[in-house]
Amino acid sequence: MRRPAGGRGDLPASVATIGTFDGVHVGHRRIIERVLSVAAERGLPSVVLSFEPTPREYFTRGTPPARLTRFREKFERFEQLGLDWFFCPPFDADMANLEPAEFIGRLLIDTLNVRHLVVGDDFVFARNRAGTVKHLHAAGAEQGFSVEQVHSVVEQGVRVSSTEIRRALADGDMGRAGLLLGEPYSITGRVVDGRKLGKVLGFPTANVNLHRRECPIAGIFAVRVRGVGEERLDGVASIGTRPTVEGVEPILEVHIFDFDRDIYGEYISVEFVGKLRDEEKFPSLESLTEQMHIDANNAREVLSLSN
């Protein structure tokens, strides 16, 4: 998959979609599958248009909702799904103030040279969210592109959305989050050097910096790790600030069961299978270590039931 640099994609024509695509959940995948299908029928490249930061992050500034997927994770998912291009211009004051006609002209016509556009049934765009599908149809009739809306996916009577997934994660309901995502919720990142306190306590960990302003989950989890060899590896993970040892910045720490290898610098993906408990502060390292043994045993049990 290609990611155009600068302001133009250099595309002779395209089949495209637009959105934030946070989480790349089953609703997003239905849209992307339609893009891929039409692109294949017409022999055109498939394109997704998104923005960095997201519009909601830009407008809420200090208190945006926690992201489900970072930019790199989103890019990798698009690549796995088979999209040809990922166009991601900066969302700034100029972009925020585009009127619907300007948005269509600059992005859809001049940049993507769109021939067919696929959007969700709740799609709005441009300044003050004034752009609607009616604007797209009118522009398409003039500029020679067609527009298609894809209905939302409904699971257990609820429309699948990034907000609903955040709610499930906040409740510790990893099963429901995975159902809405179409796969277990995961966080990917590079293993970094840490304080090695876990190793001293008998639980060596692979530490992953979160690189996000706010994380949608916190606590202790049963996990599976990808990226270390061909197989998924079972483990237990903590995600939080480590209050017992006076931690400040949130970090993901993963203890992989029956594993003794140096993986510093490697890029891993951690799948969250089940939540064991919330993070808490212990009175001593001894009591923390005792709880870590309990967590490890509980994680093994959860993982044995999820195979």
CB atoms near residue 196 (< 10 Å): 11
Say whether both 208 and 142 belong to one domain: no
* Residue at 172 is within a domain: no
Residue 150: inside a domain: yes
Q: pLDDT tens digits, residue range 112-157?
A: 999 999 999 999 999 999 999 999 999 999 999 999 999 999 998 9
Q: Is the pLDDT of residue 10 over 90?
A: no
Same domain, 43 and 146: yes
Residues 15/44, Cβ–Cβ less than 8 Å: yes
Which long-range CB contacts under 8 A does 120-124 form with residues at least 24 apart?
120/19, 120/27, 120/31, 120/149, 120/150, 120/152, 121/149, 121/150, 121/151, 121/152, 122/152, 123/18, 123/19, 123/149
Domain count, the chain: 2
Is 169 within the bounds of a domain?
no
How far is Cα 124 from Cα 254, in angstroms, rounded to an integer? 40
Extract the tokens encoding 294: 């309990």
- Give residue-wise pLDDT tens across range 42-82: 999 999 999 999 999 999 877 788 999 999 999 999 999 99
> What's the distance, CA 49 to chain centroid?
15
Show the CA angle centred on residue 224, arms to residues 223 and 225, nearest 5°.
120
Whole-prediction pTM: 0.91
C-alpha 67/C-alpha 54 separation (Å) is: 10
Q: Is residue 216 part of a domain?
A: yes
Q: What is the CATH number of the domain that holds 261?
A: 2.40.30.30
pLDDT tens-digit series, residues 195-242: 666 666 678 899 998 876 688 999 999 999 999 888 899 999 999 887
Domain that holds residue 300: 186-305
Residue closest to 206 by CA, chosen among 189, 186, 229: 189
